[in-house]
Amino acid sequence: MSALFYLLGVVIFATAIMASIALHELGHMIPAKKFGGKVTQYFIGFGPTVWSKQVGETEYGVKAIPLGGFVKIVGMLPPGAVELADDVTVDAQGNQVVRVRKSNTGMFTQLISDARAAEWETIRPEDSDRLFYKMAWWKKVIVMAGGPTVNILIAFFIFAGVFATYGNLSDPKPYSPVVSTVVDCVLPASEGDRACSPTDPVAPAKAAGIEVGDRIVSFNGVPFTSWEALQKEIRANDDGAATIVVERDGRQLTLSTNTTVTARPTSTTDADLTQVGFLGVSPTLGGLNTGGPIYTVDQMGRMTKDTVVALGTLPVKVWDVAEAIVGIQERDPNGPVSIVGGGRIAGETVSEEAFPVKEKAVFLLMLIAGFNFFIGMFNFIPLLPLDGGHIAGALWEAIRRGMARLRGRPDPGYVDVARLLPIAYCVASVLLVMGAVLIVGDLVVPVRIAS
């Protein structure tokens, strides 16, 4: 049964991601067609074609490798400039015949020429007014931004639904001074998971008679409304006397005890221990903050900052994964994962018996939303072959033409993105390698959920 639920989680995640990819490509195709562009292909996946159907001038289909998708918009690359003639002859009528050839000297020049030739092999004379590169710059921006914007909107609607109904897992409310746990004895921090023995000293809270559900109103005459302030007072009390007022069943009770001094962590690392006053109670989690669309926008703004930082350190994080694969270091549980890793996490979440169904559903939704948000942000990076590279080209075209008009100079024409293809191929190669490293890492040293 566990294996069945694991498979269910993987299928749910994979289906959601494929649906997101399909919607991403629709975000490109719909405005492209709306602006009169010619779209010849709409495919989900890469590699060999599994299924396709021609509808009008567009072929819709699915390919074998479900790691992305693409829309073929005719005329992405403008034609190259005609270079100087290098051969002049005279025909039988005495007219000059000029033979023109394009210079293909150099690997990069040849690469650009080949890509341009492949692009224009499919263009027919009647397509002249429907070519992508001839669109107004703002139309190009809308077409290329449509895909990643769809991913961000998917993330927004999922986040908004979860934040409004369940709450934000990343934004918990402060701890409440309502007692959730009373320990029986004082144990060293390194032995906190073992049972008490007869030789262990009784915890001060236990000796005072504090019970689960009590709200601590004051400590040594100082009133408190937050756990953080109360905790500071307890720790500063060392082994001194403690008069504690608690609220229980609508009544206030005054209890007395002495805190004891023990080593406790002052940060998230167990190695950082300090001798502090100890009472022996744990607070109640204050719940999760909730909110509507404005709250969601605010939270996504914070996510954007975190994502930009994560994108800047992505190559280093992928290198860390590569080191984990060969056993040099442990895999960072908070590091990047591929779609394969996301599927494994989804499967483990659904098959984990300790998680209630509601928490499983929320976790899956947040996982899907997180992937969509990252995919959207990633595609806005201003480098070809990503969507952001085409957006940057369109914006540069607008700036260049605007400056020419202001200076009274001739129109400089369309931006030739084909000249950036060598960079695009380098970026694509790097992305391919990083993707392969993450996939291998997710198979060899996977990130697992904490149960």
Distance CA 252, CA 216 (A): 9
Residue 376 contacts residue 151 (beta carbons within 8 Å): yes
- Using alpha carbons only, give the angle 222, 225, 226 rounded to the nearest 5 degrees: 105
Distance CA 423, CA 408 (A): 32
Q: Distance between alpha carbon 245 and the CA centroid of its chain, in Å?
A: 47
* Residue of 25, 119, 348, 397 marked catalytic: 25
Q: Distance between alpha carbon 104 and the CA centroid of its chain, in Å?
A: 41
Q: Is 25 a catalytic residue?
A: yes
Phi (first) and psi of residue 394, to 5 degrees: -65, -40
Distance CA 170, CA 369 (A): 14
Residue 167 contacts residue 365 (beta carbons within 8 Å): no
Q: How far apart are the first and last CA of the chain?
A: 18
What 8-state DSSP symbol labels residue 49? E
- Which tokens in the block code for residue 178? 């309502």
Residue 297 contacts residue 313 (beta carbons within 8 Å): no
Q: Which residue has the tokens 């405005």?
A: 31
Nearest to 259 by CA among 228, 273, 284, 280: 280
In 213-292, where does DSSP find H-type helix? 227-236
Residue 95 burial (CB < 10 Å; 0-12/13-18/19+)?
exposed
Distance CA 153, CA 140 (A): 20
Residue 20 burial (CB < 10 Å; 0-12/13-18/19+)?
buried
- Which tokens in the block code for residue 308? 């930009």
Q: Distance between alpha carbon 400 and the CA centroid of its chain, in Å?
A: 33
Residue 100 burial (CB < 10 Å; 0-12/13-18/19+)?
exposed
The amino acid that residue 349 corresponds to is T
Residue 387 contacts residue 148 (beta carbons within 8 Å): yes
Phi (first) and psi of residue 284, to 5 degrees: -100, 135
Residues designated catalytic? 25
